[in-house]
Structure 1
Amino acid sequence: MTFIRAYLRASTKEQDAGRARGDLEEFCRDRGLTIAATYEENESGASLHRPELFRLLRDSKPGDILLTEQVDRLSRLSDKDWDQLKREIKAREVKVVALDLPTSHMMLKTEDAFTGRMFDAINGMLLDMLAAIARKDYDDRRRRQAQGMAKAKAEGRMKGRPEDAERNEAIIDMLRKGQSWNTIVRATNCSRSTLAKLAKRLEGTEAAAG
């Protein structure tokens, strides 16, 4: 019997790791499926220190489904760490299904062996691509933040506590996805003044990129 195991992750303790629970439940409900277990944690996607993710894998039997909202919830890892995580997933014979990877949804259906192997190969390539994009996005943001902090320090504008780069990265990601300010404030416990600064920073970054 195949079990669907939901994995929910947020980067910092100020964020709500369970915010996507409803989306995952609706996804399964629309397909007549049920989530058997949920694993939730607040850990960086750039680190392999993911106790709940590895507990999920230990609990899994061959053929079980690891269901997540987005591939970047699973990995913003370096190539070396991503390869290590993939080996663990493959060794457990767990299938990864992500809401933002439509081809992976086919893994929920019973297919013949040939079709199953074909989708395994396709999803493996797409997972690698999306994981690489997620890591590049993470590295680019960290670099821009470091450049901004260095510039502010050089201009004498750096005062008070250093910014929470991990949290601010997550907030900018939520802004980019179009989430409301009220939702972001509730999920991250940040002030509206901080949110306004990050929204302005995002506008500047997108304007420069455009």
Structure 2
Amino acid sequence: MFVRAYLRASTDGQDASRARGPLEAFAQDHGHAIAASYMENASGATADRPELRRLLADARPGDVLLVEAIDRLSRLPAPAWRALRGEIEAKGLRVVALDLPTSHAAMKAGEADEFTARMLDAVNGMMLDMLAAIARKDYEQRRERQAQGIAKAKAEGAYQGRPVDLEKRRKILDLLASGYSVRKAANLLGCSTSTVQAAKREGI
């Protein structure tokens, strides 16, 4: 069994590698090692994430896609989630999440009879959809609260927007000017590709 771990954090200021320890311990407890890791700082509200795309391109039937929680994989709206789940299923990947106990049986592939395996897959699929919907709802509520806070601050004259990290922008532009790709610059500086693209677009 080939276990592919996906680690995601939403912003550059968050540590996407934080979940590595729990994921490795979980895999070890189930008699497996993580064979490949894919880590990035990107929003879960979009399926266009470089490392997620790379994982899907690398995946082979029977592989496990291991995540700490379903919200690390998706905060997508329903149509986009269905499309992503369709890609995952087309690749023959089985999603296992630490916060989804019904998915853990996938770490013991081949031990259950066909009927039991199909029943577990059906239950897991239903729970997967439910947690993906909850993750999206949480995302929308946080965005709404954030917008309300900004609107209040603007009304009180206290909102100044998010400060730009000029030093990081200078480094990004230097790397791009030296011929590095957007993804390579992002990897070298430990930031998201969207941050690099914004610096490329807006300059200093």
Same fold (TM over 0.5): yes
CA–CA distance in structure 2, aligned partners of residues 154 and 162 of structure 1: 17
Matches within 5 A, 1:25-104: 25-104=24-103
Could you report, residue by residue, the CA deviation over 1:121-151 in whole angstroms, capped at 9, with x for unpaired residues? 1111101100000000000010011011111
User: 5+ residue gaps in structure 2?
Assistant: 165-204
1:173 is matched with none
1:127 is aligned to: 128
Secondary structure of 1:32's partner?
A: coil
Mapping of residues 1-210 of structure 1, within 5 Å: 2-109=1-108, 110=110, 111-158=112-159, 160-162=160-162
Q: Which amino acid aligns with 2:99?
A: D
* Equivalent residue number for residue 167 of structure 2: none
Note the C-alpha offset of 1:156: 2.1
Say which SS state the counterpart of residue 126 (structure 2) adopts. Answer: helix
> Relative to structure 1, is the Cα distance of residues 38 and 64 closer, same or farther in structure 2, using a 3 angstrom cutoff?
same
CA contact (8 A) 1:7 1:68 kept: yes
Q: Secondary structure at the match of 1:15?
A: coil
Aligned structure 1 segments of 4 or more residues deviating by more than 4 angstroms: none
SS of 2:89's equivalent in the other structure is: helix
How far residue 50 of structure 1 moved from its aligned partner, in angstroms, is 1.2
Structure 1 unaligned residues grouped into runs of 5+: 165-210
- Aligned positions, number: 162
Shift of 1:108: 1.0
**How big is each residue's C-alpha offset from its partner over 1:155-189, in whole Å with a ceiling of 9 and x where there is no partner?**
2222x33379xxxxxxxxxxxxxxxxxxxxxxxxx
In 1, Cα distance between the equivalents of 2:86 and 2:49?
15
Task: Give the Cα separation in 2 of the matches to 1:125 and 1:163.
Answer: 42
Cα distance in 2 for partners of 1:48, 1:128 equals: 16
TM-score, structure 1 normalization: 0.74
Coordinate RMSD, CA, aligned = 1.4
Tell me the alpha carbon deviations over residues 47-73 of structure 1, each in whole angstroms, 9 at most, x when there is no partner: 111111121122111111000000000
SS of the residue aligned with 1:139? helix
Deviation of residue 19 (structure 1)? 0.7
Q: Tell me the CA shift for residue 8 of structure 1.
A: 0.4
Q: Percent identity?
A: 63
Q: Secondary structure at the match of 2:145?
A: helix
Amino acid at match of 2:86: R
What SS does the corresponding residue of 1:49 show, helix, strand or coil?
A: coil
Distance in 1 (alpha carbons) for counterparts of 2:146 and 2:97: 29
**TM-score with structure 2 length normalisation?**
0.76
